[in-house]
């Protein structure tokens, strides 16, 4: 993450995209890694839904949230660290970079035709994020990456998205968030940002806190083209009525 301190650029807009479920199809690998970790180290089965509901949450907080839901004692720091190490080991063994359908066209629209500066905001670590973007040929399209190791508090806290807005030199109200998970949607709302959710991982009833919900990247591109296809525009995002 850049250490510079940009200043706001007179109302220009920016866009912050989550990574897993928006840019890459990585949640299957995260889920398999967490399930294997909890079976091996705790002897419990971890339902997949519990993982997807917490997509984007930093690993340490994820472990602490799961303990009471799985009937496990509150973990100490050593246990949290051990579970995360094992999960990361398993994830690194199986992870492959798979694009979400339509992401290349969406990035071309946002960064090219509409001219918005882009940031990635992810609960994954920086190395994983860089590897994924490079693998998709998209690294040069994003001005900044805000990863789990760049912030003290992860989603659903607003810090990750507020950090992205600062780095993009845009007011939070002028930054659109593209998400697919409840924690990220909550983080965007707490940051004062408009949010479009895409149902790539969870059905729409889990995403109702977003300003708009769309089925896929093609529908999102159509929405943006219909509203902002002539020019990128300035100021706060004004999304049309909900499509849920």
- 179: enclosing H helix or E strand: strand 175-179
Residue 18 annotated as catalytic: yes
Q: Which residues contact 85 (CB under 8 A, 6 or more apart)?
A: none
* Whether the Cβ atoms of residue 11 and residue 174 lie closer than 8 Å to each other: yes
Which candidate in 18, 25, 150, 211 is catalytic? 18
Among candidate residues 46, 85, 82, 40, the one with its CA nearest the CA of residue 67: 46
List C-alpha distances in Å: 110 to 35, 69, 71, 175.
36, 40, 45, 12
HSE at residue 92, side-chain half, CA atoms within 13 A, is 10
HSE at residue 167, side-chain half, CA atoms within 13 A, is 24
**Residue found under tokens 């992870």:** 95
Give the span between the Cα atoms of 67 and 232, in whole angstroms.
Answer: 45
Among candidate residues 81, 79, 80, 96, the one with its CA nearest the CA of residue 30: 96
Which sequence positions are flagged as catalytic? 18
């Amino acid at each position: 993450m850049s250490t510079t301190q940009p200043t706001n650029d007179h109302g220009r807009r920016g866009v912050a995209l989550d990574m897993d479920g928006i840019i890459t199809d990585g949640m299957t690998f995260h889920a398999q890694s967490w399930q294997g970790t909890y079976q091996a180290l705790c002897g419990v089965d971890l339902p997949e839904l519990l993982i997807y509901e917490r997509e984007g949450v930093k690993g340490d907080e994820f472990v602490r949230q799961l303990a009471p839901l799985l009937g496990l004692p509150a973990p100490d720091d050593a246990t949290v660290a051990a579970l995360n190490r094992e999960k990361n080991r398993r994830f690194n063994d199986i992870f492959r970079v798979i694009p979400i359908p339509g992401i290349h066209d969406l990035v071309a629209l946002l960064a090219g035709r509409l001219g918005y500066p882009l940031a990635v905001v992810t609960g994954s670590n920086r190395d994983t994020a860089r590897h994924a973007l490079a693998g998709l040929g998209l690294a040069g399209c994003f001005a900044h990456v805000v990863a789990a190791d760049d912030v003290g508090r992860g989603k659903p806290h607003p810090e990750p998205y507020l950090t992205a807005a600062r780095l993009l030199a845009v007011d939070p109200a002028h930054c659109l968030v593209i998400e697919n998970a409840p924690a990220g949607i909550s983080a965007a709302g707490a940051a004062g940002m408009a949010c479009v959710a895409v149902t790539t991982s969870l059905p729409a009833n889990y995403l109702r806190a977003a300003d708009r919900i769309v089925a896929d990247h093609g529908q999102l591109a159509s929405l943006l083209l219909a509203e902002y296809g002539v020019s990128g525009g300035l100021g706060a995002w004004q999304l049309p009525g909900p499509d849920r």
